[in-house]
Chain A
Amino acid sequence: MAIRIRKLRKRMDGLELYRDLSFTAKTGKITAIFGPNGSGKSTLFNILAGVMKPDGGAYAIEPFDQRRFSYLFQNYRETLLPWRTNRANITLPLESQRLDKHEIQDRVTTLQQQLDLQLPLDGYPYELSGGQQQMLAFFRTLITNPNTLLIDEPFSALDYQNWLHFCNILQAYHLAKKPTTLIITHNIEEAAYLAEEIIVFSDKPTRVLGIVKNPLSYPRTVNTLKSAAFHDIKRQVLELFHGKAEA
């Protein structure tokens, strides 16, 4: 019951992305992958989503349910459809599952209340600010009530205030629904704030340098960000990343 990667191998453009990459993201937990750019993190997600094929090794998402699998792209704003209203953008995954209109409406209302989303649902995406567009796309990935969430550098373009807001929404959803969440980030603060386990990736060919356990209790708040224990987690990640001597 988890996302399992076993001895995954993949070459791209003649470069070895990973050789025998293995790790597990536990069910119902948030796991962060922290690593340098170009370590094949996004490719890993594309493989998990079935968009790309690995050269070897095995991977599994258990239990897998296409309808409750959500993938938040790095450039997820671009996946919004400008010819659909904001509401119709959110409900697209539900429409494709052929749910009836009332059920779809109920789901939107419920999630809206749960996450305190304030967006003009009858407007169009191009009328929204960049941050609101990201919020809309984020909302769409949560509407299917996913039990598996892949999130690829989600909040990298946001200012600090919005970043914290997004993190807290993700956290709230997580606490309510306990999906298995795998989140790619190159923001060490984000990894330490959200995740229960932080997997640190090396440069190419990518391998796991180590795993940092993060026992800080949820819900985490601004006070968590200020705490000594939080900084200790960040230090552990940096030590793995740079080697003990440098850090």
Chain B
Amino acid sequence: MRKIYTFLGPLGFVLIWWLIAAFNLADSFFFPGPKETLIALVNLLGGDLVKDILATLSRTMQSFALATIIGVPLGLLLGKAENAYRSIEFIIDFFRSTPATALFPLFLLVFGIADASKIAAATFGGLLIILFNTAYGVINSKKIRILAARLAGASRWQIFRWIVFWESLPQTFVGLRNAISLTLTIVVVTEMFVGTNVGIGRRIIDFQVVFNIPAMYAAIIAAGMMGYLLNYCLRAIEQRLVHWKQ
């Protein structure tokens, strides 16, 4: 019974979309109906768009992996050294508030116009989010568990492996899920900008320039599906690892 409610919203959404298109409530040139968009999407997925999706996916995963590999250990370390974290908190907050895309021109100068600069910008954005979430997970961990383990004779390294890492894991995953959405966003935006012929961002701009509006919508939806699926996968991993928070 509950399942029905899950589908009610999306169905209503498509219905409103269809009504607007069917009764010509908006200019059909700029606002194609669900049918045209779906046909365009099916055609694209059977052809070129797969290459674009894979290219964007590859850039996103590279950025996300780099951000995770650097961000999680660094966050754990900084969370343990709380004073060190406090002293660089402002820097992290400042750059976290700076849109990573604003730094893209700088990354272009440093890394060139190929993929490296896109990956660098996306990594930068994701890294800071993962870093501060992980650090906060450590800082807010229950001191009594650590105390109990210390009294039971556990070493610092054992406490780190057995308690601190796990205790911060739910907060780390908050960071990871935010970061994967952000890295995808940055990759798509930078693809629109310069330096590549493949990528979902590139494709959206190309369709827009030639006024292939249904295809543009289809590519946007494909990008949305990518984002949703990436988040979904991460959630599934989280539910397995962080089983005690369910």
Binding site for B on A (CB under 8 A): 49, 51, 66-67, 69-71, 73, 75-76, 78-79, 81-84, 92-93, 95-97, 124, 126, 140, 144
Segment among B11-19, B92-100, B109-117, B141-149 that sits at the interface with chain A: B141-149
Binding site for A on B (CB under 8 A): 142, 144-145, 147-149, 151-155, 158, 162-163, 166, 169, 242-244
Q: Which of B144, B149, B162, B163 contacts A75 (CB 8 A)?
A: B144
Contact A93 to B153, CB < 8 A, known contacts A81-B163, A82-B244, A126-B244: yes
Question: Are A96 and B244 closer than 8 Å at their CB atoms?
Answer: no
Cα distance A130–B62 in the bound complex, in angstroms: 45
A42 to chain B, nearest CB (A): 12
Q: Which of B145, B147, B153, B243 contacts A96 (CB 8 A)?
A: B153
Question: Are A79 and B154 closer than 8 Å at their CB atoms?
Answer: no
Please give me the residue from chain A that is nearest to B146 by CB atom: A79
Please give, as numbers and ranges, the residues of chain B lying within 8 Å of A76 by CB-CB distance: 148
Cα distance A78–B158 in the bound complex, in angstroms: 19
Cα distance A136–B149 in the bound complex, in angstroms: 15
Contact A92 to B152, CB < 8 A, known contacts A81-B166, A126-B244: yes
Cα distance A79–B151 in the bound complex, in angstroms: 11
Cα distance A93–B153 in the bound complex, in angstroms: 7
Please give, as numbers and ranges, the residues of chain A lying within 8 Å of B244 by CB-CB distance: 82-83, 124, 126
Please give me the residue from chain B that is nearest to A74 by CB atom: B144
Cα distance A126–B243 in the bound complex, in angstroms: 10
Q: List 17 A-B contacts (CB under 8 A).
A: A51-B151, A67-B153, A71-B148, A71-B151, A73-B148, A76-B148, A79-B144, A81-B162, A82-B244, A83-B169, A83-B242, A95-B158, A96-B153, A96-B154, A96-B155, A124-B243, A140-B152
Prevailing SS type, chain A contact patch: mixed
Please give me the residue from chain B that is nearest to A126 by CB atom: B244
Please give, as numbers and ranges, the residues of chain A lying within 8 Å of B169 by CB-CB distance: 83
Cα distance A66–B154 in the bound complex, in angstroms: 11
Contact A96 to B149, CB < 8 A, known contacts A83-B244, A124-B243, A124-B244: yes
Cα distance A69–B149 in the bound complex, in angstroms: 12
Please give me the residue from chain B that is nearest to A68 by CB atom: B153
Please give me the residue from chain A that is nearest to B241 by CB atom: A83
Cα distance A126–B242 in the bound complex, in angstroms: 12
Question: Are A78 and B152 closer than 8 Å at their CB atoms?
Answer: no
Please give, as numbers and ranges, the residues of chain A lying within 8 Å of B155 by CB-CB distance: 96
Please give, as numbers and ranges, the residues of chain A lying within 8 Å of B154 by CB-CB distance: 92-93, 96
Q: A78-B144, A83-B244 are in contact. List 18 more A-B contacts (CB 8 A).
A: A67-B153, A70-B151, A70-B152, A75-B144, A79-B145, A79-B147, A79-B149, A81-B162, A84-B162, A92-B152, A92-B154, A93-B153, A95-B158, A96-B153, A97-B153, A124-B243, A124-B244, A144-B152
Q: Which of B152, B158, B169, B243 has the most CB of A within 10 A?
A: B152
A88 to chain B, nearest CB (A): 9
